[in-house]
Amino acid sequence: MEKINQTIKDNLYKMRAYFQSGATLDYAFRKEQLRKLKEAIVQNEAAIFEALKKDLDKSPEESYATEVGLVLAEISVALRNLEKWMRPEKLKTNLVNFPSSSRLYRDPYGVTLVIGAWNYPFQLLLAPLVGAMAAGNCVVLKPSEVAVATSAVIARIFRENFDPRYISVHEGEGGEVIPGLMDAFRFDYIFYTGGTTVGKIIYQAAAKDLIPVTLELGGKSPAIVEREADLKAAARRIVIGKFLNSGQTCVAPDYVLAQADIKEQLFAQIVETTEKFFGKDASQSYDYGRVINRRHFDSLVSLLPEKEKIRYGGDHDRDQLYFGPTILSEVSPGDPVMRKEIFGPILPVISYDQKEDALKVIKKFEKPLSFYLFTQNKAHVKWWMKHASFGGGCINNTLWHFSNPNMPFGGVGDSGMGAYHGRFSFNTFSHSKAVLSTPTWFDPALKYPPFKGRLRFFKWMIK
């Protein structure tokens, strides 16, 4: 554990004092800071694009669509709705409390810690930040050290634009920096995005001080393709979902479950679409990214099965950190590629006969972060929604549920707890104080002792 130096520790306590001064509570302050964030991002767009290019070889178009644009959209939604979100929410009042009224007051937690992952290193850190700011918190940001260039550009942007008592950035090895920070200071809320193993470490460390957490984790997200599916659309949406960012997307379809009688047609469509999107040699494609580092690259190589199971691709170049789009067939649940989340451009396709068989495969794994169903059969949609447990997902699509700020995004079980985006981020970073307000003009004696003889009345009134 890194010993946090005195200056850092002092700043954390300055953040607490700043929060306690009430500086972040007013609507005007929150609005102004969100605007400032928007401006800082827009002004630094080129530097952010450059960093994402360096870290993951993302094109400016992809960086905007999957990183910068999503954060700007979160800010726009927050700016448009903040006044409404901050208004106390009126709730119903039961008869026994007549004539009281009931309200929820949204209270910021205080000094929060937001920890990001490397695969979308800008967006996964700053989208939760928007919710934390909207809710009136002070925020310590911990970018992933794995995306080195993006971490540095984020640190600079906040250093240059924000009061460190309000928002501060701590870079460095997560395994050193985070335990150090948590040892030096009791955060009021922790929002973590990353793998399940580290998620458990964070949860345990937070439990010691009863710190509430949101954990945005991963898992093996299935894409099911039924015989009733539009196969062309399914292939397009699975290919983009899987090979975007070289498969390093938490909501990417991890594997495909294809109904046996359409499996071959689906293969053909997926291969054709992959070549249409990224060319015959994806290493030359403007739209195809790179693996983050050699460690992750080696772990992907170790997942490759014997040659006969590689239906397409499998080519890789360690020096270039290039791993081509790869499609596997005849994969069995015991194969290395099915033992953990792949998090790379390898797509196993498993066939099944009946939907009950496909569900059995899904249930072999922990509850997934995402779930994708391709079918035109409405009764089957109903069946799947009833029987499958997952964080969130799409019908006849992949990934896009992540980009709708009107829907909560989060996992369940091993894929996480809690949710965010749009109003749900605001709620996540707020404690809901429930307050009953009672006028004094009506004060029935029945509510006060002596209670003897009122049992029948209470039974009628309270139940």
Q: Does 67 bind ligand NAD (CB under 6 A)?
A: no
Number of residues that bind ligand NAD (CB under 6 A): 28
Looking at the Cβ atoms of 295 and 463, the one nearer to ligand NAD is: 295
Q: How far is the CB of 140 from ligand NAD (least distance, A)?
A: 12
Q: For ligand NAD, which residue of 193, 326, 397, 430 counts as binding (CB under 6 A)?
A: 193
Q: For ligand NAD, which residue of 24, 44, 112, 119 counts as binding (CB under 6 A)?
A: 119
**Integer Cα distance of 374 and 372 in angstroms:** 7
Q: How far is the CB of 155 from ligand NAD (least distance, A)?
A: 13
Burial 206-231, CB ≥16 within 10 A → b, else e = beeeebebbbbbbbbbbbbbbbebeb
DSSP 107: E
H-type alpha helices, 251-323: 263-278, 294-301
What is the tally of helices (H) and strands (E) in the chain?
16, 18
Please tell me which residue in 250, 341, 366, 394 is annotated as part of the active site: 250
Looking at the Cβ atoms of 111 and 117, the one nearer to ligand NAD is: 117
Q: Does 270 bind ligand NAD (CB under 6 A)?
A: no
Please tell me which residue in 67, 216, 226, 341 is annotated as part of the active site: 216
Question: Of 150, 141, 158, nearest to 192 (Cα)?
Answer: 141
Q: What share of the chain is helix, strand, coil (3-state, %, to 5)?
A: 50, 15, 35
**Integer Cα distance of 347 and 327 in angstroms:** 5
Q: Does 329 bind ligand NAD (CB under 6 A)?
A: no
Q: Does 117 bind ligand NAD (CB under 6 A)?
A: yes
Q: Does 315 bind ligand NAD (CB under 6 A)?
A: no
**Integer Cα distance of 112 and 212 in angstroms:** 10
Q: Does 142 bind ligand NAD (CB under 6 A)?
A: yes
Q: For ligand NAD, which residue of 41, 349, 369, 399 counts as binding (CB under 6 A)?
A: 369
Q: Which stretch binds ligand NAD (CB under 6 A): 116-124, 153-161, 261-269, 442-450?
A: 116-124
**Integer Cα distance of 151 and 140 in angstroms:** 13
Exposed/middle/buried for residue 95 (C-beta within 10 Å: 0-12, 13-18, 19+) = exposed
What count of other Cβ atoms lies within 10 Å of the Cβ of residue 2?
17
Site for ligand NAD in 158-187 (CB under 6 A): 174-175, 178
**Integer Cα distance of 11 and 110 in angstroms:** 14
Q: For ligand NAD, which residue of 115, 129, 138, 157 counts as binding (CB under 6 A)?
A: 115
Q: Does 144 bind ligand NAD (CB under 6 A)?
A: yes
Q: How far is the CB of 142 from ligand NAD (least distance, A)?
A: 5
Sheet (strand 89-91) strand order: 89-91, 101-108, 430-437
Q: How far is the CB of 246 from ligand NAD (least distance, A)?
A: 13
Q: Does 343 bind ligand NAD (CB under 6 A)?
A: yes
DSSP 367: P
Distances, alpha carbon 309 to alpha carbons 121, 286, 383, 461, in Å: 33, 28, 32, 69
Tokens of 315: 């080519």
Q: DSSP 3-state assignment of 452?
A: coil
Q: For ligand NAD, which residue of 113, 240, 250, 328 counts as binding (CB under 6 A)?
A: 250
Binding pattern to ligand NAD, positions 389-418, x when CB under 6 A?
Answer: ----------------------x----x--
Q: How far is the CB of 121 from ligand NAD (least distance, A)?
A: 8
- Whether 173 sits among the annotated catalytic residues: the reply is no
Q: How far is the CB of 194 from ligand NAD (least distance, A)?
A: 3
Residue type for position 211: I
Binding pattern to ligand NAD, positions 198-237, x when CB under 6 A?
Answer: x--xx-------------xxx-------------------
* Rg of the Cα atoms in the chain: 25
Q: Does 357 bind ligand NAD (CB under 6 A)?
A: no
Q: For ligand NAD, which residue of 131, 194, 345, 408 counts as binding (CB under 6 A)?
A: 194
- Whether 250 sits among the annotated catalytic residues: the reply is yes
Task: Please count the CA atoms within 13 angstroms of the CA of 135 that sit on its side-chain side.
Answer: 31
**Integer Cα distance of 166 and 33 in angstroms:** 10
Residues tagged active-site: 216, 250
Binding stretches for ligand NAD (CB under 6 A): 115-119, 124, 142, 144-146, 174-175, 178, 193-195, 198, 201-202, 216-218, 250, 341, 343, 369, 411, 416
